[in-house]
Amino acid sequence: MTKLDVRSVVLTVLVAAVLLSLGGCANTPPVNIAAEETAIRGTEAEFSKAAAAKDLEKALSFYAEDAVLLDQNEAIAVGKAAIRASWTRMLAMPNLALTWAVDKVEVAKSGDMAFDYGSYNMSYTDTSGRRKVEDHGKYATVWKKQADGNWRVVLDMSNTDQPAPQPAAARKAQPKRKKR
């Protein structure tokens, strides 16, 4: 091959690569970030309504099959079966009331991933049945757009704003010091 032939081949390959990459870009529709944010907010509101109604099946429908739940005071729940078990325990709490609201949604420029965070309020009756427990905190959710166009939770995490319980030793009264 001559020097001219090598240059022609390299130039042809470069032009083809550029044209192919431009063709791929032309076929990708632009993402309407504002519309996707609105969709996430609406989906999150429906998810919260399902939880408030204690509708286990509806609540689980918002999770992807391989989702991960990082709930407080529980082991990591991976997959819908483990998430079902976690939600079943929570929904069985006496007099449970649970709601949450979105503070912020951020959608990736690609339009296929998003996250949101916000605050939650939860109350229930303790195991003695005599004391109402109230909790409020924050959550973060990672969403992935599915092949069918619907958004599903792939990572769900929450934690309380309540202070951690003090160790038993710290709760005991300090011994009185002798006066001198």
The pLDDT, as a whole number, for residue 142 is 98
The pLDDT, as a whole number, for residue 165 is 80
Cα 127 to Cα 37, 45, 123, distances in angstroms: 40, 29, 13
The pLDDT, as a whole number, for residue 164 is 82
The pLDDT, as a whole number, for residue 167 is 80
The pLDDT, as a whole number, for residue 131 is 93
Beta-strand relationship, 132-145 and 151-160: antiparallel
Task: Give the tokens for residue 73.
Answer: 């005071």
Closest to 141 measured CA to CA, from 64, 85, 82 = 64
Q: What are the boundaries of each domain within the chain?
A: 31-162
The pLDDT, as a whole number, for residue 19 is 47
HSE-CB for 156 with a 13 A CA cutoff: 29
The pLDDT, as a whole number, for residue 33 is 96
Tens-level pLDDT at each residue, the chain (180 residues): 555 555 555 455 544 455 444 444 556 689 999 999 999 999 999 999 999 999 999 999 999 999 999 998 899 999 999 999 999 999 999 999 999 999 999 999 999 999 999 999 999 998 888 899 999 999 999 999 999 999 999 999 999 999 888 787 665 655 555 554
**CATH class name, domain 31-162:** alpha beta
